[in-house]
Every structure is written in C-alpha cells, then in structure tokens.
Amino acid sequence: MSIVLISQFGSPLVIPVGDRTPVINVEKTCKDSVAAEKEVGISVVQPFEDCMRDENQAKQLDAVWTTYSAPLRERCEKKATLLGEGSYVDLLNCVQMSDPAKLTPTRDLKGASRNRN
C-alpha cells in the first residue's frame, strides 16, 4: 500500500505505508497497563520499569520489519494497536508466529501485551 502526494513541483511522491516499524507510545501503554492491573486487583503487578524494558527490547523488530510482507506487517500492526494503544511485544509476537527463524525468541517478554500469561 502506498500514499501518493503531489509535490510542489507537480510530480507525484510515493510514500510506502508500513515500511517503518509503527511508532507506539509505550510509556503511556505501560502506565495504563500497570494502572489496569492494580484496578482489577492483580496481586503481583508488573512494575512500570519492567514493562518499559520489555517493550523497548521488543523493538529489536526494527532491524527486520521490512523483511516481512506488507500484508503481514499491516495485519500485525492492526492487531498490536487494537483499541488505540499498542504494544511492541504484541507486534513482535505476531510477526514471530509467521516466521520464527527471523528473530531471537522472546518468550519471556511481557511488556504491555494484552496476551500476557
């Protein structure tokens, strides 16, 4: 998928959509995740610092993002940013499930993932 814009010189500029790893505000997501866990009374809440560490570690995805097909990137981005918040851990898990050989396994990352065990 691409967005075509007309430059000031009248020629079209094509900007590929999804060629860069999505920008996710993990600080907000981690704060919201910790607050939600406390609100529902989870006895062992993941500390904010651990959430941030996991989310930042999951950004290793930057190095290989463009090696995945555009439809997969689009599908994973939608899934990982569902409901307006996002998680690099969810994004990483999504693409790893399509081709686990491309990335180092990260089973122990929790971050702000909605799929935490």
Parse the chain into domains and list their residue ranges: 22-117
Q: Are 23 and 55 in contact (CB under 8 A)?
A: no
Confidence grade of residue 3 (pLDDT, cut at 50, 70, 90): very low
Confidence grade of residue 42 (pLDDT, cut at 50, 70, 90): confident
pLDDT value of residue 104:
56
- Report DSSP state, residue 62: G
Residues 6 or more apart whose Cβ sits within 8 Å of residue 103: 60, 61, 64, 92, 95, 96
Residue 31 Cα to chain centre, angstroms: 16
Per-residue pLDDT tens digits for 70-109: 999 999 999 888 777 889 999 998 988 887 666 555 556 6
Indicate whether 17 pLDDT > 90: no
Quickly list H helices, the chain.
Answer: 26-39, 48-58, 70-80, 88-98
Q: How far apart, in whole angstroms, are the C-alpha atoms of residue 27 and residue 25? A: 6
Q: What is the pTM of this model?
A: 0.70
Q: How far apart, in whole angstroms, are the C-alpha atoms of residue 22 and residue 101? A: 22
Indicate whether 47 pLDDT > 70: yes
Q: How far apart, in whole angstroms, are the C-alpha atoms of residue 111 and residue 8? A: 43
- Report DSSP state, residue 19: S
